[in-house]
Structure 1
Amino acid sequence: MSEDQPKFWFPAKRYGWGWGLANCWQGGGVQVGYIALLFAGAKIFLPQHRREFWILMLVSTAVLIAIHWFKGEKPLAWRWGK
């Protein structure tokens, strides 16, 4: 890994718990892909197949959280700034 490339795809949020926006193109691709998948799923499944859409949403959100956990900075505690 080069010096100018960030170590984490997703930095921890400055305030609160969790992750902020991606700080490299790989993380940005993951976030854009997630949003695109949900929009495509809504277009395909809604309004007739609501259950399948909710399953798609829950599974893709679980995968997104897993990617954030493994490729992001660990949010070990609530952050108050600094």
Structure 2
Amino acid sequence: MSDQGNRNYWFPAKRYGWGWGVPSSWQGWVATLLYLLVIVGLAFVFDPAASVVPYLVSVFAASAVLLIICWKKGEPTKWRWGVDDNSR
């Protein structure tokens, strides 16, 4: 048995498809909440109607930071079809 079952992942892998699902720990929820607060805050810093490019660059940067956190603290991802890999 691998040690993957013993790790405390902040973001579990999705059951279907590729990527991560809803956070499974308080750290994951804090990271997600901070991301949402940053996105809302950016709308006040950069008026999206007047400063489209700076706003989009900032949103892209915040999203990249969240993606890196998910990659480092989340369960390893691969394409999943909803079937438990151990049952095959």
Query: Does the pair score TM above 0.5?
Result: yes
Matched, 1:38 2:39: yes
Normalised by the length of structure 1, the TM-score is 0.86
Normalised by the length of structure 2, the TM-score is 0.80
Look up the equivalent residue of 2:46 and give its one-letter code.
F
**CA displacement at 1:48 relative to structure 2:** 2.0
**CA displacement at 1:52 relative to structure 2:** 1.2
Look up the equivalent residue of 1:11 and give its one-letter code.
P
Look up the equivalent residue of 1:27 and give its one-letter code.
G
1:69 corresponding residue in structure 2: 71
Where do 4+ consecutive residues of structure 1 move more than 4 Å? none
TM-align CA RMSD: 1.2
Look up the equivalent residue of 1:80 and give its one-letter code.
W
Look up the equivalent residue of 1:59 and give its one-letter code.
A
Q: Equivalent pairs: percent with the same residue?
A: 39
State the number of aligned residues: 76
2:56 corresponding residue in structure 1: 54
Q: Which runs of 5+ in 1 are unaligned?
A: 1-5
Q: Which runs of 5+ in 2 are unaligned?
A: 1-6, 84-88
